Amino acid sequence: MPKHKVGIVGASGYTGSELVRLLAHHPEVTLEFVTSETYSGKRISDIYPHLQDLVDIELISIENVSDFEPDLVFLALPHGVSMNFVKDHGIDEFVTIDLSGDFRFSSQGIYEEWYKKTHVSAEFMEHSVYGLPELFRDKIRNARLIANPGCYPTSAILALAPLIKHGYVNPSSIVVDSKSGVTGAGAKPKEGLHFPDVFGNFSAYSLVNHRHTPEIENTLLNYSGYSTEILFTPHLLPIDRGILTTTYSTPKKEVNMEMVEELFHSVYEKEHFVRVFDAPPSLKNIRGSNYCDIHATYDERTHRIITISTIDNLVKGAAGQAVQNMNIVFGLIESTGLKHIPLNP
């Protein structure tokens, strides 16, 4: 059986290069093209030497994508840029998996309010499927446009979805406290992300107005039917990759620690990439992998349910989840090409 043909638009950033790494030895696909406007004409291994002699494909301009006939295209482009590609190419010729935030909402108004950009291809928003496989794989199978989730939302939603769906917690006044490595900000240098600023430091940012807040709320509503109120605060860790998210919520019925633990084990026992632990997980145990590790417990004194989840923001939080979505679309086993053991230490 012929392999599926895929391409990456925007391969020179962290997410794009991570897609190259994961797809290079995927047994069921061939990587037809990778694009970069900045480095067009160079090899991907010229930009990322760790790919030397492993993936030496030449980067092309986005204008040359029409020379190929891919089955699926990954868009590893900034917010506000992916929508232009979809406007120009549509969704009929190939499946598109967009790793930006451009199609994570069905409402143009919500997108423009939080991203402060005019959406130029809003007619495609209603066709988009939110690509969180553990919650929406039935819709992903036949989707032509898949919105890959944000990294913070992935860690928060997987930790909260069972509690809200099964009526364990009050969906209002949920606190989500997240810490991320600096690769979540992308490869382009930015103020506040230089080594002297980050090393030995720890800081919060985008208080009360982070664009991932409505993404978490909207996704939990679509999955559970319950409107939620999320107080989300992101922090920057002095590490390169990884996210640890802690959530705090109030039960709306009598619960105990055993009930909470059993809920998570029963919901995720058949999932490829969600591992439920009886102790708090750490970032070292998911580094370089597509796993989301979750621990859930109950504090009798404060009457709060606490969850802790960890992911690699570049894998389960971006490229790995995109490949997982691709596997679903192509009818492959979800873990195909993603069975990487985490790097520890």
> Read out DSSP for 136-160?
HHHHHTT-SEEEPPPHHHHHHHHHH
Same domain? 234 vs 261 = yes
d(CA 56, CA 53): 6
Same domain? 197 vs 306 = yes
Is residue 41 a part of any domain in this protein?
Answer: yes
pLDDT the model gives residue 190: 77
Same domain? 142 vs 242 = no
Same domain? 309 vs 320 = no
pTM of the model: 0.96
d(CA 8, CA 208): 34
Domain that holds residue 322: 4-149+316-329
Same domain? 212 vs 322 = no
Same domain? 209 vs 305 = yes
Q: How many domains does the chain have?
A: 2
215 backbone dihedrals φ, ψ, rounded to 5°? -65, -45
Residues marked as catalytic: 151
Same domain? 322 vs 306 = no
Same domain? 254 vs 197 = yes
Same domain? 156 vs 265 = yes
Per-residue pLDDT in tens (0 to 9) along the chain, 345 residues: 789 999 999 999 999 999 999 999 999 999 999 999 999 999 999 999 999 999 999 999 999 999 999 999 999 999 999 999 999 999 999 999 999 999 999 999 999 999 999 999 999 999 999 999 999 999 999 999 999 999 999 999 999 999 999 999 999 989 999 999 999 888 777 777 888 888 999 999 999 999 999 999 999 999 999 999 999 999 999 999 999 999 999 999 999 999 999 999 999 999 999 999 999 999 999 999 999 999 999 999 999 999 999 999 999 999 999 999 999 999 999 999 999 999 998
pLDDT the model gives residue 184: 85
Amino acid letter, residue 93:
E
Is residue 23 a part of any domain in this protein?
Answer: yes
Same domain? 12 vs 109 = yes
**What is the CATH number for 219?**
3.30.360.10
**Length of the chain counted residue by residue:** 345
d(CA 231, CA 245): 13
- Pair of tokens at residue 280: 């708090």
Is residue 336 a part of any domain in this protein?
Answer: no
**What is the CATH number for 128?**
3.40.50.720
Is residue 341 a part of any domain in this protein?
Answer: no
Is residue 222 a part of any domain in this protein?
Answer: yes
Same domain? 187 vs 222 = yes
Is residue 264 a part of any domain in this protein?
Answer: yes
How many of the other CB atoms lie within 10 Å of CB of 116?
10
> Measured between alpha carbons, how far is residue 203 from residues 39, 181, 193, 268 in Å?
33, 11, 11, 32
Same domain? 96 vs 243 = no
Is residue 276 a part of any domain in this protein?
Answer: yes
Is residue 75 a part of any domain in this protein?
Answer: yes
pLDDT the model gives residue 303: 97
